[in-house]
Structure 1
Amino acid sequence: MRDGYLQRILNARVYDVALETPLEKAATLSARMENTLLLKREDMQPVFSFKLRGAYNKMSALSVKALKRGVIAASAGNHAQGVALSAQRLGCRALIVMPVTTPRIKVDAVTARGAEVVLFGESYDEAYGEARALGRRRRLTFVHPYDDPDVIAGQGTIGLEILRQHPGPIDAIFVAVGGGGLIAGIAAYVKRVRPSVRIIGVQPV
């Protein structure tokens, strides 16, 4: 399956909307750690997050019929904006279910891109359940934030860029882990192309 993901990543259509972000030296951190640390600047994406890559790659692979019906997602922020911008570019309707506790600024950022927002539940899990139910009733395609091959492949383009931007030796790539889609995509590419590079997941304690 790793070869399958490699091909998915190589063929990903993320650059219709996402940017190839710079890989920049973190001078202060490098000095503190007495090593060379590089940062992948995904905060420079149009929605300030890597989530755009996976959302667009998934949605751009949908059939014309599916796009015409529309898409639905559950999110408290970054994935919602990625889906909203992708829908805007692809000319399809997007419905985003967000917890009622979502800050107004995040809701406004999603509606500003043309998506419809439904506020439901006190937590992401409750919003997720409602999005699944609404999607079934309205026959909308659910865009999962991480557990989807096309989403994972979209995120995997970050790994492709890192190796292209830094062809020299790399000891390890540290990846923030939430749902796991980002690290899965990066690992699928990097471990296939340069298996000596360690992929290390990082979570808050």
Structure 2
Amino acid sequence: MRSLHTRTPLLHSFPLSRRLGVPVYLKLEALQPTGSFKLRGVGRLCVEAAERGVNHFVSSSGGNAGLAAAHAAEVLGKRATVFVPTSTGELTQQRLRSLGAEVIVIGAEWDDAHAEAVAFAKRHEALLVHPFDHPSLWAGHSTLVDELTEDLDSPPGCVVLSVGGGGLLTGVVHGLRRAGWNHVPVIAMETIGADSLACALDAGALVELPAITSAAKTLGARKVAAEAFSVARAHDVRSVRVSDAQASAAQHAFADDHRILVELSCGAALAAVYTPVVEVAFADSVVVVVCGGAGVTLDSLSNSAGA
């Protein structure tokens, strides 16, 4: 099958390794063509659909999944319509349009935009490209772990990642199982106010947040995918909440240390090693999935200093 994503580097971070006292590796998904890991899964889903003759992709997104769908449509010669909430920045909207996508801004949060996208896709008999809840997405994201097995001499002590709707978490756990790394814990990082997985695990059942109050809007799914909740209970997944301020501090420190800009949502994962949180203290090595995010600029990072 044709692949639209790039094999990303696994960087041994000397600043973070010194900070934690163990090897820390960064899986640099921010270097994907669209700026985030989303292209792995969305690209796979769109290629599969194109091979079936689908000509129109409809995406609902806070930004990054939509960019992946628009990129896939451009590469594959298909039509893309992307529904985004009003919280999606103008820069991301411009990038979507530059890829040839029709952009429809509607609703205060992703869930609102998604409901409109579902209805639109049904009316137009188009493919609905869900941002996190589809087996092809998880299969695409799982390839990240395939690359880790090639780059590491032994399994890591843990894998750290951000959680929004849970697509990345699900794909990584599936990949760990396929690699025979079932024993490797996953540290699932969320910001307070966008912590739908943590709330579900606390309740012992899927729950829906009344609203997204975190500034990390691309983590803003009020309810995680059922499969994400299932793998989080079956695998050794350790759920951690951090504040927006902790995620922002990690986002800034990472830019200083590694000269790479990432969204606040990615700062949630980085906060695990910059804070650091107790859940990584046990590990003899750490892999952080630097999921990236296209909705960040030097100006936005400067304006959020001290958030």
Above 0.5 in TM-score? yes
Q: Aligned runs of 1:65-104 on 2, under 5 Å?
A: 66-68=53-55, 70-104=56-90
Identity %: 32
CA displacement 1:71-92 (0-9 Å, x = unmatched)? 1011121111000000111111
- TM-score, with normalisation over the residues of structure 1? 0.88
**Is the Cα contact below 8 Å between 2:132 and 2:167 reproduced in 1?**
yes
Amino acid at match of 2:40: R
**Is the Cα contact below 8 Å between 2:4 and 2:44 reproduced in 1?**
no
The total of aligned residue pairs comes to 191
Q: Aligned runs of 1:18-57 on 2, under 5 Å?
A: 18-57=5-44
1:66 is displaced (CA, Å) by: 4.5
- TM-score, with normalisation over the residues of structure 2? 0.60
Q: Aligned runs of 1:1-205 on 2, under 5 Å?
A: 13=2, 16-63=3-50, 66-68=53-55, 70-193=56-179, 194-204=181-191, 205=242
Unpaired runs of 5+ in structure 1? 1-11
**1:100 aligns to what SS in structure 2?**
coil
**Aligned in 2, Cα 1:99/1:172: closer, same or farther, shift over 3 Å?**
same
Amino acid at match of 2:158: A
**Is the Cα contact below 8 Å between 1:191 and 1:197 reproduced in 2?**
no
1:64 is displaced (CA, Å) by: 5.0
CA displacement 1:97-119 (0-9 Å, x = unmatched)? 11133211000011111111011
Aligned-CA RMSD value: 1.5
Is the deviation greater in 150-159 or in 188-197?
188-197
**Is the Cα contact below 8 Å between 2:50 and 2:76 reproduced in 1?**
no
Is the deviation greater in 159-168 or in 38-47?
159-168
In 1, the alpha carbon distance for the partners of 2:76 and 2:88 equals 26
In 2, the alpha carbon distance for the partners of 1:145 and 1:100 equals 17
Q: Which residue of 1 aligns with 2:235?
A: none
**Is the Cα contact below 8 Å between 1:66 and 1:141 reproduced in 2?**
no
